[in-house]
Amino acid sequence: MTTSTETTPIEKPKRNYNILFGLTLLALLVLLWIALSLATPSFASGINIANLLRQGSMIAILAVGQTFVIITGGIDLSVGAIVGFCTVIVAMLINAGFPVWLAVLATLALGVAIGLFHGFGIVKMGLPPFIITLATLTSLRGIGLLMTNGNSISIKNDAFSEFSRNSFLGVPNLFWMVILVAIPAYIFLHHSRWGRYLFSVGSNAEASRLSGVNVNRTIYLAYTLSALCAAFVGVLLASRIGIGNPTQAEGWELQAIASSVIGGTSLFGAIGSVHGPLLGAFILATINNGANLLNVNSFWQRIITGALIIVIVYFDGLRRRGK
Amino acid sequence: MILSTLDGHDHPAPDAAVPGQPILELKGLEKKYIGTHALKPVDLAFKVGEIHAIVGENGAGKSTLIKLLTGVIPRTSGEVFWDGKPVALATPNEAIALGINAVHQEVVLCRHLTVAANMFLGEEDTRFGMLQGRTMVQRAQKIIDDLGFNLPAHVMLGDLTIGQQQLIAAARATIRGTRFLIFDEPTAYLTRKETEQLFALIRRLEAEGVTIVYISHRMEEVFELASRVSVLRDGTLVGTRNIAETDDAELVRMMINRSIEQIYHKDHFEPGETIVGAKNLSGKGFEDVSLSVRAGEIVGLYGLIGAGRSEFVLTLYGREKKSAGEIFWNGKPANIRNEHDAMKLGMALAPESRRDQGLCLNLSVGTNLNLPIYKRISSKLLISGAQEKSHAERQIGGLRIKTAGRHALASSLSGGNQQKIVIGKWLNHGAKLFIFDEPTVGVDVGTKAEIYRLFSTLLSKGAGIILISSYLPEVYELADTLHVFRRGRLVASHAHGQASHEEVLTEAIGV
């Protein structure tokens, strides 16, 4: 056979690419921490580190859910609004006397329902993901404001309110929640067939369909998981600030997308991981925290974040194209 | 030139070229891709003011030639002379600057702009930087009327029929100082009347000294229009004839590869039970098709591109909805609602376009090979890593897929090896009926032979095969039963070797 005797130089497989990129991000994060510890004595204090972890945790969870959606080639703009809306729902349920576990479960179920609605809009109504999630973004804020009349609802349950402020084994509870989400998310994305289908749909939906993959169900799944993560963050936020307020978490969807993209997720789909967005979220949190400690004008924080997105994604693209 | 004065533009007046003198000369023009020799060295001279037809089967190298002449792709070697001077033709802009234009089979214009805006796209009339919309519409209307097309210039291009859009595309090409105009199957979507209008335009350009290259499958058009005709086959220029000195029998003979190579290796098996049957099946793009496939046989579907073959198999596979008729599986009526149902019955489809339908290019070879079977190799939730590995490596080894490993991206492989992945994933799945839609497009000869040998292996295991190909020797040699499609209908069926190449081609073209 002619073809088997030919010796064509063959490209090295890029199997370790994900891990390598993750290590680069981790190095960047550690570098930031070292630099900030040297620059300001208050950075390395236990209180500040705990604070930093709390700040980053909620965006990190949102970013994981967002990443599932982006891998399929979609986008979920509604997550910030879902967070705000769910603080209201969980606050109302608790104040109405429901046990906390039931209030939390009901709120998570609501998240699932919102995600299914997104899937319905995309699959059955043929709406672009950008549009359907943009629509829920504005309407959920509106519904929340209607329900609260624009006021905040104070949560009358101390145990619930303390959860987000407390620590376990010296680590803030909120960060434990990140781990609680990240481990199943990792197994789901990289070791289950549904995770594999997210990638294949994002890479080529038609080829997946012709290979027997249920493309519609995969899309439902991605948006449901993203909304579920957002509802969970809503519960955590309500616990942290002790109130329900529909205008909370304004712009968090963009921070979640930014974290995901900094973490190496491709907005064209089919490329992404779980550790990437987590690292991305904590890099962003570190920049904000460091800038606060260094008394950098908060307007500058936004500019730095924007520049960082451009730089990281540009270098990531260079490496992907040119190896 | 009449047309260039007519549109009021000051295009450089073409040099007073003498009719009959060569305008564009090709010397040893050649194009190689990795693994395929798309165009073997061609020597050809196009003369000023002639209509030169180019005919050949699909994959004969016509598109490659057009792309070289219009600067879309660079040549591998050879020289091109324009008006006696060597030119690089490295970019589309260079070709356009020389006066070389093309009207493609598919309209490549903006559907959401007006007819006038499309005609002057890139050369808009402006005053102080503002678009002169009304002037452009008037000028465009004048050009259209002058050509006798009877179409409005102010409507959206997308509101016209495909045929009318084609006429606009042709009109657009004439107003840009064009001296060399290529028509690629321009009449594929035209009505008879539109075709006449287009021919009138072509003759008028000819009279003005524009050189026309006319590519078509339709023999009657070639004989109606052209003064000379060149035949391409397998990337080789077989010959050029004056139209008066040839006939369609000779051209068809030249188009067909006589030397059937050893690669069409075929073992014969005794056909078994009927696996699948279609009875009066109709759907989008085809009508009233009845055929069946038995275990151990290859059923070939031949026809020109767009004859309805791919639509037929996609409907069989549940991807498209049938509008009438019935599908039988193992003799029983089958209700195939989607691809999943088809797979469960035991069908496998290697689709026409690897890039668009066959592969997830930016995922790994291993993932692609396992895509149809993840359900089987997963326990409840988790994928079995060991099984994923063994299934992938079995196919990589068995099909000799040339790859750095199962973790390499599918996009890093050559076309032939990518095709092997598409086939390999269905071998992993296992099936009774394999549908191969153009399995050897862009595949080198060695891989072709391997794919054909694989067909025999499948048949020996009792599977049936539907083979779609636009390359006649392939289906002709391999198929036990050959069905010919034309314009959405099954027009003829032959047992292996029963009809000649000429007959089959004639049935497909419909001369």
B489-507 pLDDT tens trace: 899 899 888 888 888 888 8
Of B114, B143, B147, B144, residue with least CA distance to B131: B114
Residue B447 lies in a domain: yes
8 Å CB contact of B378 and A213: no
Q: Which residues of A touch B447 (CB under 8 A)?
A: 3
How much of chain A is helix, strand and coil, in % rounded to 5?
75, 5, 25
B130, two tokens: 């503002």
* Distance, C-alpha B292 to centroid of its chain: 27
With CA atoms as reference, report the closest residue to B75 among B46, B38, B100.
Answer: B38
- How many domains are there within chain B? 3
Nearest-angstrom CA–CA distance, A66 and A29: 21
pLDDT at A319: 65
Q: Whole-number mean pLDDT of chain B?
A: 84
What is the per-residue pLDDT for B212?
93
Instruction: Choose one of B405, B430, B455: the last residue of a domain.
Output: B430
Position B123 in a domain: no
Confidence class for position A57, pLDDT limits 50, 70, 90 = very high
Q: Specify which of A111-125, B250-264, B299-313, B460-474 reaches the highest per-range mean pLDDT.
A: A111-125
Amino acid at B505: L
Residue B250: pLDDT band (50, 70, 90) is: confident
Rounded mean pLDDT of A30-53? Answer: 87
Cβ within 8 Å, pair A13-B405 = yes
- The reported pLDDT for the residue numbered B230 is 93
Using pLDDT thresholds of 50, 70 and 90, give the confidence band for residue B53: very high
Residues B383 and B238 in one domain: no
The pLDDT, as a whole number, for residue B8 is 42
The pLDDT of residue B235: 84
Q: Do B446 and A191 touch (CB under 8 A)?
A: no
Q: Is residue B297 part of a domain?
A: yes
CB contact under 8 A, A210 and B339: yes
Banded pLDDT at A86 (limits 50, 70, 90): very high
CA distance A322 to chain B (A): 13
Contact between B360 and A204 using a beta-carbon 8 Å cutoff: yes
pLDDT of residue B451: 85
pLDDT at B1 over 80: no
- pLDDT at residue B511, rounded to an integer: 62
Indicate whether B187 and B319 sit together in one domain. Answer: no
Q: What is the mean pLDDT of residues B254-277?
A: 73
Residue B477 is assigned to a structural domain of this protein:
yes
Q: Is residue B94 part of a domain?
A: yes
Q: Is residue B485 part of a domain?
A: yes
Query: Best of B356, B371, B378, B443 to disrupt the A interface by mutation (most A CBs within 10 Å)?
Result: B371
At A93 the pLDDT is 93
Lowest mean pLDDT among A261-265, B162-166, B369-373: B162-166
Tell me, yes or no, whether B334 and B371 share the same domain.
no
Greatest mean pLDDT among A60-69, A168-177, A298-307: A60-69
Q: What residues of chain A lie within 8 A of the CB of B358, using their CB? A: 207, 210
Range with top average pLDDT, B144-153, B281-290, B397-406:
B281-290
Contacts of B245 (CB under 8 A, 6+ apart): none
**Cβ neighbours of residue B10 closer than 8 Å, sequence gap 6 or more:** none
Looking at residue B12, its pLDDT comes to 44
**Per-residue confidence at B404, pLDDT binned at 50, 70, 90?**
confident
Q: What is the CATH number of the domain that holds B491?
A: 3.40.50.300
User: How far from the centroid of its chain's Cα atoms is residue B312's Cα?
Assistant: 17
Q: pLDDT at residue B3 above 50?
A: no
| Amino acid occupying residue A247 | T
* Domain, as residue range, for B182: 2-12+23-107+157-167+178-255
- Which one is predicted more confidently, A44 or A236? A236
Q: Evaluate if residue A11 carries a pLDDT over 50.
A: no
Residues B296 and B422 in one domain: no
Contacts by residues B392-397 (CB-CB < 8 Å, ≥ 24 positions apart): B392/B365, B392/B366, B394/B428, B395/B369, B395/B421, B395/B424, B395/B425, B395/B427, B395/B428, B396/B365, B396/B369, B396/B424
Residue B318 lies in a domain: yes
pLDDT at A270: 86
Q: What pLDDT does B220 receive?
A: 80
Task: Give the closest residue to B443 by CA, choosing from B401, B407, B482, B479.
Answer: B401
- For position A321, what pLDDT does the model report? 64
The region of weakest confidence among B10-14, B260-264, B449-453, B457-461 is: B10-14
* Whole-angstrom distance, CA of residue B39 vs CA of residue B77: 10
Same domain, B244 and B379: no
Rounded to an integer, the average pLDDT of B9-25 is: 64
Give me the pLDDT at residue B190, please.
74
Q: Alpha helix locations (H) across A96-214? A: 100-123, 129-148, 158-163, 173-191, 193-203, 205-210
Structure confidence by residue, pLDDT tens digits, A186-236: 999 988 889 989 999 999 888 888 888 889 999 999 999 999 999 999 999
> Of B372, B402, B430, which one is at a domain's C-terminal end?
B430
Q: Categorize the per-residue pLDDT at A161 as very low, low, confident or very high, splitting at 50, 70 and 90.
A: confident
Mean pLDDT, to the nearest integer, of B286-310? 88
HSE value, Cβ hemisphere, 13 Å, CA-based, for A184: 9
Q: Mutation test of the interface with chain B: which of A71, A189, A204, A267, choosing the one with the most B Cβ atoms within 10 A? A: A204
What sign has the CA pseudo-torsion B82, B84, B90, B91? negative
Lowest mean pLDDT among B184-188, B206-210, B504-508: B184-188
What pLDDT is stored for residue A129 in this prediction? 94
* CA distances (Å), origin B460, targets A290, B419, B454: 70, 21, 10
User: Vertex A68, ends A66 and A70: CA angle to 5°?
Assistant: 70
Quick one: B306 and B426 in the same domain? no
Residue B114 within a domain: no
pLDDT reported for residue B265: 72
Is the pLDDT assigned to residue B72 strictly greater than 60?
Answer: yes
Q: Does B339 touch chain A (CB under 8 A)?
A: yes
Domain segments of chain A as ranges: 46-322
Residues B216 and B300 in one domain: no
Contact A196 B383 (CB under 8 A): yes
Among candidate residues B230, B255, B280, the one where a domain is terminated: B255
pLDDT at B445: 63
Read off the pLDDT of each residue in A97-121 and give the average, rounded to a whole number: 94
Closest Cβ opposite residue A203 in set B362, B400, B405:
B362
Average pLDDT over residues B233-246: 88
State yes or no: pLDDT of A323 exceeds 50.
no
Chain A residues with beta carbon closer than 8 angstroms to that of B449: 1
Q: What ipTM is given for this predicted complex? A: 0.76
Q: Give the number of C-alpha atoms closer than 13 A to the C-alpha of residue B117, restricted to the C-beta side.
A: 13
Determine, for residues B339 and A271 on separate chains, whether the beta-carbon distance falls below 8 Å.
Answer: no
Predicted confidence at residue A231, as pLDDT, reads 96
Query: How does residue A178 score in pLDDT terms, banded at 50, 70 and 90?
Result: very high
Helix (H, G, I), strand (E, B) or coil at B83: coil
What pLDDT is recorded for position A17?
Answer: 63
Architecture field, domain A46-322: Orthogonal Bundle (1.10)
